[in-house]
Structure 1
Amino acid sequence: MEAAIKQEPVIRLATPKDAEVLLAIYAPYVRDTAITFEYDVPELPEFRKRIESTLEKYPYLVAERNGIPTGYAYAGPFHPRAAYQHSAELSIYLSQDSRGQGIGKALYRHLEKILLSQGVYNLEACITFAEKGDSYVPSTSPLFHRALGFQTVARFTQCGYKFGRWFDVIWMEKLIGQRPVYPEPFIPFPELAKR
């Protein structure tokens, strides 16, 4: 019997119509983990609005296998001040049965290419961290980011409280592209198609 060939995920742009299926991917992270510090699963209209708001300036990508969304990743501002325009914060969520299959790497590769074309040179990731194994915080996220070239640049001690416990947060960073001496202004995502 032949071994199954792993199919590369199809990466596409998210739309507000994806809100329901993407919210279904996100909800277990809210209910069962401290990976996100949200306490309550967002309502569908709120989640749809988040997608729309992100797409006004940044990419929001969906990974599919056989036409079924298996994960998503998006970028947002690292900080609202103008001088931070060349840095972006990344977020990624995969369906519970899709982890460890290369989907996250494919999403981040696409996201990185788009962000570089927008004039982003610093990728930032805020990650809940537990020194030892923890049922609410798996150790996979720092390992995933490290494998993609991110380095830990900061740690905040017991700054998040969820499930009756305190959690640390680390920031991981990846520098991409050649940083120009005089960079062009950040290009909002919808304007890329016009160039």
Structure 2
Amino acid sequence: MRTIRLARQADVDDLLAIYAPYLSTTVTFEYVLPSREEFSRRIADVQARFPYLVLEEDGQPVGYAYAHPLGQRAAYQWSGELSIYLSPAAAGKGGGRPLYLALMELLRLQGMRTVYGVVTHPNPASEAFHAAMGFRLLGTQHNSGYKNGRWLDVALYEKPLSNYPDAPPVPVPLDQLPRETVEEVLAKYTRMLNETNRGRLP
């Protein structure tokens, strides 16, 4: 049984273990694995405003996704950058799509208007994933980072979540959404997750 749920502080070790293998790749631009305390703080910082979701299989976290601010200035508050990480055991099994969709639906309910994916280029799997999820490639930043002995480009993807009114309401933190609404979204995409697992969805 696979489940999408909100992250808990008790997940820190499991999520850090999922993230650790990416440190040797160019998927993340981070050089050093964060400490347990630092990773715990990062989760708490996200949860103060945005969803931090866990993909769980038979009670074991196998992936996670979250949003964070696109920029620090006030005018950016309707836009967020998304991140998703899956363990090798979960990759390619259809879990990423429901997890990302659940994250975006919660952000839309909060009042967010646009989300962005920032992808090291080339990364064919992530680039294809964002395209399939309806993101539009905005462009490529050349030689934006240096890791593993080479300069790396970054591709920026964009997806609107809602319309763009002249006076948009300020987005609300996730914990100000009705709890039952959040649970309904998680249940909806958990059902999709398990339908995918049974081969009912492409």
TM-score (normalised: structure 2): 0.85
The within-5 A match list for 1:109-124 is: 109-124=101-116
Residue 47 (structure 1) aligned to one of 17, 39, 46: 39
2:83, 2:89 → 1: CA distance?
18
Q: Note the C-alpha offset of 1:37.
A: 0.3
Per-residue CA deviation, residues 105-150 of structure 1 (Å, 9 max, x unaligned), is: 01111101100011111010111002xxxxxxx4100100100000
1:14 lines up with 2:7 in the alignment: yes
Q: Note the C-alpha offset of 1:59.
A: 0.5
Residue in structure 2 matched with residue 180 of structure 1 by the alignment: 165
1:43, 1:111 → 2: CA distance?
25
1:126 lines up with 2:111 in the alignment: no
Residue 83 (structure 1) aligned to one of 59, 62, 75: 75
Residue in structure 2 matched with residue 97 of structure 1 by the alignment: 89
| AA aligned opposite 2:121 | F
1:98, 1:108 → 2: CA distance?
14
TM-score (normalised: structure 1): 0.88
Q: Note the C-alpha offset of 1:179.
A: 2.7
Q: Note the C-alpha offset of 1:188.
A: 1.2
| Identical-pair percentage | 44
Q: Note the C-alpha offset of 1:171.
A: 0.6
1:86, 1:191 → 2: CA distance?
16
2:105, 2:146 → 1: CA distance?
34
Contact 1:16–1:49 at 8 Å: present in 2 too?
A: no
Q: Note the C-alpha offset of 1:60.
A: 0.2
The answer for unaligned runs of 5 or more in structure 2 is: 182-202
Bigger proportion of residues as helix: 2
SS where residue 4 of structure 2 aligns? strand
Q: Note the C-alpha offset of 1:17.
A: 1.2
1:176, 1:159 → 2: CA distance?
27
The answer for unaligned runs of 5 or more in structure 1 is: 1-6, 131-137
List structure 1 runs of 4+ shifted beyond 3 angstroms.
none
Residue in structure 1 matched with residue 199 of structure 2 by the alignment: none
Per-residue CA deviation, residues 157-189 of structure 1 (Å, 9 max, x unaligned), is: 011100111100011010112333321111111
1:143 lines up with 2:128 in the alignment: yes
1:164, 1:52 → 2: CA distance?
33
1:152 lines up with 2:145 in the alignment: no
Residue in structure 2 matched with residue 25 of structure 1 by the alignment: 18
